[in-house]
């Protein structure tokens, strides 16, 4: 009897030990904080800084309703968060794992359907968590109007002027870094088959030469209606690709170019003898 008693005791204790193990709570592991986001700007007048909460929206939105065609209905959770805070969303785009949301606080209607966008920013979100904000300090004349995809894992930041122009590019810097850098000298289209140089704000005579060097050929425009018209004057300067000019508003003129892979439409602004490039658009050939 004495030799069997220890074995019986061990069998009796085992369930008790198991019960204790199952009912003892496991200590909660500490929640890991996200790695700090490295940010930097090499463009004067454009700042990027870490931030975890949205700034307060201006009390006076100006003529926001009259500039509704510049606003976006937010599609992301981050964009809806920005809108709920009283800001107007101007753009949404992805950059790597981050969600970028462009937003602004004040609007002023201009001529020819234009609007001046002030108190503009780009918020960088990781999910619904704000990690950083890009903005132009109050001293420069320009404000950030919107951010649009540019190249691979990049965004182009446009100003909020009546005649918007690109300010800088936003690029990934590793897994946890973002940098504001000067505008890229080239933009690629059509699976890399077409390259367009950075000709913004350049006189058309200089811009057309830069395009020619990258394989873009001018498409001769229609004959001018009048020998003293702007179109006729531009053609006299050798700009035979002028397609037409507006006699009112900002004085836009349009031009056409082509390459084996694409068709390029370009616009200048102003009434100068050699007007400056304000925008361009590329359509890839099928």
Per-residue pLDDT, averaged over 61-72, amounts to 96
pLDDT above 60: residue 67: yes
Task: Give which of 129, 171, 121 is closest to 151, Cα–Cα.
Answer: 171
Mean pLDDT is lowest, of 40-54, 114-128, 132-146, for: 132-146
Overall residue count recorded for the chain in this entry: 286
pLDDT above 50: residue 15: no
* pLDDT range class, residue 172, cuts 50, 70, 90: very high
* pLDDT range class, residue 18, cuts 50, 70, 90: very low
pLDDT at 14: 43
HSE-up of residue 233 (Cα within 13 Å, Cβ side):
11
CA distances to 142, 244, 257 from 276, rounded to whole Å, are 18, 15, 17
Percent over 90 (pLDDT), the chain = 78
**What radius of gyration do the chain's Cα atoms show?**
29
pLDDT above 50: residue 19: no
pLDDT at 34: 65
Q: What is the pTM assigned to this prediction?
A: 0.83
Better-scored residue on pLDDT, 116 or 151: 116
Mapping DSSP to helix (H, G, I), strand (E, B) and coil, where does residue 166 land? strand
pLDDT at 256: 98
* pLDDT range class, residue 140, cuts 50, 70, 90: low
Domain ranges of the chain: 38-184, 188-284
pLDDT at 151: 86
Per-residue pLDDT, averaged over 52-61, amounts to 95
Euclidean distance between CA atoms 129 and 135, whole angstroms: 18
Per-residue pLDDT, averaged over 270-278, amounts to 94
- pLDDT, mean over the chain: 88
Residue 156 phi/psi, 5-degree rounding, is -105, 130
pLDDT at 205: 97
pLDDT at 22: 36
Residue 19 phi/psi, 5-degree rounding, is -65, -40
Per-residue pLDDT, averaged over 193-199, amounts to 96
pLDDT digits (tens, 9 = 90+) for 226-253: 888 999 999 999 999 999 999 778 999 9
| Sign of the dihedral defined by the CA atoms of residues 265, 267, 272, 274, in that order | negative
Decide: 276 and 203 in contact? Cβ < 8 Å.
Answer: yes
Per-residue pLDDT, averaged over 193-203, amounts to 96
């Amino acid at each position: 009897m004495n030799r069997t008693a220890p074995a019986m005791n061990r069998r009796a204790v085992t369930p008790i030990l198991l019960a204790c193990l199952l009912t003892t709570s496991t200590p909660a592991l500490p929640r890991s904080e996200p790695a700090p986001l490295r940010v930097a700007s090499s463009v004067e007048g454009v700042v990027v800084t870490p931030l975890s909460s949205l700034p307060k929206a201006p009390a006076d939105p100006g003529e926001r309703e009259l500039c509704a065609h510049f606003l976006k209905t937010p599609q992301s959770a981050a964009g809806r968060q920005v809108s709920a805070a009283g800001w107007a969303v101007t753009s949404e785009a992805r950059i790597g794992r981050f969600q970028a949301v462009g937003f602004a606080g004040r609007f002023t209607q201009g001529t020819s359907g234009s609007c001046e966008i002030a108190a503009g920013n780009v918020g960088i979100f990781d999910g619904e968590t704000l990690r950083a904000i890009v903005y132009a300090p109050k001293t420069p004349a320009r404000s950030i109007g919107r951010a649009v995809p540019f190249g691979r894992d990049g965004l182009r930041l446009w100003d909020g002027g009546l005649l918007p122009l690109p300010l800088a590019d936003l690029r990934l810097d590793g897994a946890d870094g973002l940098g504001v850098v000067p505008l890229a000298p080239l933009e690629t289209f059509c699976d890399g088959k077409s390259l367009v140089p950075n000709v913004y704000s350049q006189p058309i005579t200089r811009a057309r030469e830069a395009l020619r060097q990258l394989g873009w050929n001018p498409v001769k425009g229609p004959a001018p209606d009048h020998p003293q018209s702007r179109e006729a004057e531009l053609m006299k300067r050798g700009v035979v690709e002028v397609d037409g000019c507006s006699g009112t508003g900002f004085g836009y003129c349009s031009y056409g170019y082509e390459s084996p892979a694409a068709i390029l439409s370009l616009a200048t602004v102003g009434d100068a003898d050699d007007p400056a490039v304000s925008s361009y658009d590329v359509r890839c050939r099928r």
